[in-house]
Amino acid sequence: MSKIGVFVCHCGENISATVDCAKVAETASKYDGVAFSVDYKYMCSDPGQSLIKSAIAEKGLTGVVVAACSPRMHEPTFRKACAEAGLNPYMCEMANLREHCSWVHEKGEATTEKATDLVRILVEKVKYNQSLNEIRVPVTKTALVIGGGIAGIQASLDIANTGHKVILIEKDPSIGGHMSQLSETFPTLDCSQCILTPRMVEVAQHPNITLYTYAELESLEGFIGNFKAKIRRKSKSLDEKLCTGCGLCTTKCPTKKIPSEFNEGLGNRPAIYVPFPQAVPNKPVIDRIHCTYYTKGKCRICEKVCPTQAIRFDQEDQIVEVEVGALVIATGFNIKQTDFFPEYGYGKYPDVITGLQFERLASASGPTLGEIRRPSDGKIPEKIVFLACAGSRDPAKGIPYCSKICCMYIAKHAMLYQHKVHSGKSYVFYMDIRAGGKMYEEFVRRAIEDDGVNYIRGRVSKIYEKNGKLIVNGADTLLGAMPIEIEADMVVLATAGIANDGAEELAQKLHISYDPYRFFAEAHPKLKPVETNTAGIFLAGACQAPRDIPESVSMASGAAVKVACLFSQDELTREPIIAVVNRQAPPAYSSCVGCFLCVSACPYQAIEKEEIRNRNGELIKSIAKVNPGLCQGCGTCVAFCRTKSIDIQGYTHEQMYTEVLALLNEY
């Protein structure tokens, strides 16, 4: 038999002004199973809480209903008070007499009647409440960071500096990401490499960081605090321990005309290569697709010239298995290539280039050593046109979003061009200038006012080649859509920032969600920007949406703090409001029939298959099992299950059914 205590709060006059609290308490005292009922001025005050505690002790209460404000306000307070008095905190429920009753209705009988109803509903519910215990899961205090761009580097360093182990994997031969390709950075124009490379070196030397370059995630299992990751270390055809990074092999390799990824195809590299001089690690890999030995079976020159015999042609990919407690995903972004734009020539004009290609032209370490020369004939362009929003904000192209970084880098490009080609003329076609950010607007104004970049508000309809010039047809919408034709020597398209290749596959491996543009989805757009819906997996940088460097870095540090918070505990505790699949005695084992339709309904991939086997290991039955580490307690599976085999603690079938009955049945 239940012994329930009802505690009606006046909340000063907030409740009592319209609800007759004494009457509510009196009516409640007559309900079946109510052993104690009282009203009090301030239930959340110390004396109020003491009232509850002493009632629990003296009357031996088995359940408590506090009729006061919203449970979203004080549920934790009263549950804690109950726990202190030795009652399981989950035996305490709150009836919302303030926000849902006294504040929204006029004084009168109907309001008091509603208040008593609300109390009754909860009294009946509490009868079916069960003692619940917080869920505890251990934590493996190692983080896996995927992606070695600036976001991944920052996250790795921050986590490593809190004293925890980090495994950083990068799919390319070197860390550095897109930032290493940039010439100067806005709004300060400091050299990208100069600020990035010290961080890269720090990663390589940090005692807490294990760096795997040329490596990708193969699979991930487990849940927060307890992930198991398989990492594929692609073969570099090299014994890294022996290699000294002398670079002799790269100079002797006969296959030299492979478009360099680092230089965005504007320069070449050999088949055995280090992507760029400051690469970390500064050791080469063999590109097996282009290497003569792998394609034709002959050559092995690198092997012959290597002074330490470090080349390993027969090296195979290696699978490394690691256990980690959290992941930071920092796989970055990509940009649309020029061939995506039929109106600008399907990529057939060599002097129509992307923003990243311009970065390489402007970079001192680039193929032109920092001189702005056009790809077709190496001439210095006298007239250059920049097109903002190439693809971005264009629903017809399937990219309705703003790529965010282009307005700023275009201003930077135009500025760099004006600094390098004093006699040159530069034009920027834009839709809007979005320069929100510290010193950003000032930077754009500087480009326009100090460096004389011509900003034209309008779109470009077509680019074609004529007599060695690129004819840019556009309109100036500030001059009444006046048609404008510019004979340019070079055109730079600020092509849309898009999700990286393979983003979907990675998301599926990680069981995280992604948006329609394949960018990874954050758990909440405002309040959980670095979390994903899978507990323990965090996001950093442009894999979530186009981001500039400062944002990527802050996000990375944010994600690192989330990881550090997680790692500050030896065990995680979670609210026990989770789904549970019932278990029964053999031979049924569970009423679950194993249709597993709940698996696709679960937003958190928290439902797994559990195989019940007999002593001989033979499969008797497969049933659903909720992983308490992953379940967030939404209950979507509960309403879905045909056999009612899943129930959610705190909102069980019996509790909710009883609430409906209690509400409509007058006592």
Out of 119, 159, 169, 648, point to the residue binding other proteins (CB under 8 A): 648
Q: Select from 39-47, 80-88, 552-560, 634-642 the region that touches other proteins (CB under 8 A).
A: 634-642
List binders of other proteins among 528-547 (CB under 8 A). Answer: 533
| Spatial CA neighbour of 258 closest among 291, 235, 285, 230 | 291
Out of 96, 154, 174, 495, point to the residue binding other proteins (CB under 8 A): 96
State whether the Cα torsion 110-111-114-120 is positive or negative: negative
* Calpha distance 145→538 (Å, rounded): 9
When asked if residue 569 is in the footprint of other proteins (CB under 8 A), the reply is no
Out of 221, 588, 611, 667, point to the residue binding other proteins (CB under 8 A): 588
Instruction: Please state, in angstroms and as integers, the Cα–Cα distance from residue 171 to each residue in 149, 277, 369, following that order.
Output: 10, 18, 27
**CA geometry: angle 261, 179, 333, nearest 5 deg:** 70
Q: How far is the CB of 645 from other proteins (least distance, A)?
A: 8
What tokens does 630 get?
Answer: 């992953």
When asked if residue 632 is in the footprint of other proteins (CB under 8 A), the reply is yes
Single-letter code of the amino acid located at 635: G
Out of 594, 608, 610, 612, point to the residue binding other proteins (CB under 8 A): 594
Q: Select from 192-200, 242-250, 436-444, 464-472 the region that touches other proteins (CB under 8 A).
A: 464-472
Out of 57, 201, 439, 597, point to the residue binding other proteins (CB under 8 A): 597
Q: How far is the CB of 504 from other proteins (least distance, A)?
A: 16
When asked if residue 71 is in the footprint of other proteins (CB under 8 A), the reply is yes
Cβ proximity to other proteins, 13 vs 432, nearer residue: 13
Query: What DSSP letter does each residue of 519-554 carry, written as one string?
Result: PBPPSBTTTBSSB-SSTTEEE-GGGSS---HHHHHH
When asked if residue 395 is in the footprint of other proteins (CB under 8 A), the reply is no
List binders of other proteins among 495-514 (CB under 8 A). Answer: 513
Single-letter code of the amino acid located at 416: L
Are 293 and 112 in contact by the 8 Å Cβ rule? The answer is no
Out of 20, 39, 117, 158, point to the residue binding other proteins (CB under 8 A): 117
* Calpha distance 45→278 (Å, rounded): 63
What tokens does 592 get?
Answer: 């679950």
Are 238 and 286 in contact by the 8 Å Cβ rule? The answer is yes
Are 41 and 130 in contact by the 8 Å Cβ rule? The answer is no
When asked if residue 59 is in the footprint of other proteins (CB under 8 A), the reply is no
Q: At what angle do helices 109-127 and 21-29 cross, to 10 degrees?
A: 40
Out of 521, 561, 580, 612, point to the residue binding other proteins (CB under 8 A): 521
Single-letter code of the amino acid located at 349: Y
Q: Select from 36-44, 236-244, 369-377, 649-657 the region that touches other proteins (CB under 8 A).
A: 649-657
When asked if residue 616 is in the footprint of other proteins (CB under 8 A), the reply is no
Instruction: Please state, in angstroms and as integers, the Cα–Cα distance from residue 100 to each residue in 9, 21, 191, 405, following that order.
Output: 14, 15, 59, 46
Single-letter code of the amino acid located at 2: S
List binders of other proteins among 139-198 (CB under 8 A). Answer: none
Q: Select from 117-125, 191-199, 201-209, 252-260 the region that touches other proteins (CB under 8 A).
A: 117-125
When asked if residue 596 is in the footprint of other proteins (CB under 8 A), the reply is yes
Out of 593, 610, 612, 625, point to the residue binding other proteins (CB under 8 A): 593
When asked if residue 68 is in the footprint of other proteins (CB under 8 A), the reply is no
When asked if residue 665 is in the footprint of other proteins (CB under 8 A), the reply is yes
Residues in contact with other proteins, counted by CB under 8 A, come to a total of 76
Cβ proximity to other proteins, 357 vs 632, nearer residue: 632
Q: How far is the CB of 117 from other proteins (least distance, A)?
A: 6
Out of 83, 189, 246, 471, point to the residue binding other proteins (CB under 8 A): 471
Q: 614: Cβ–Cβ under 8 A, 6 or more apart, which residues?
A: 620
Tally the residues of the chain: 667
Out of 221, 323, 339, 343, point to the residue binding other proteins (CB under 8 A): 343
Cβ proximity to other proteins, 73 vs 301, nearer residue: 73
Are 53 and 83 in contact by the 8 Å Cβ rule? The answer is no
Are 651 and 577 in contact by the 8 Å Cβ rule? The answer is yes
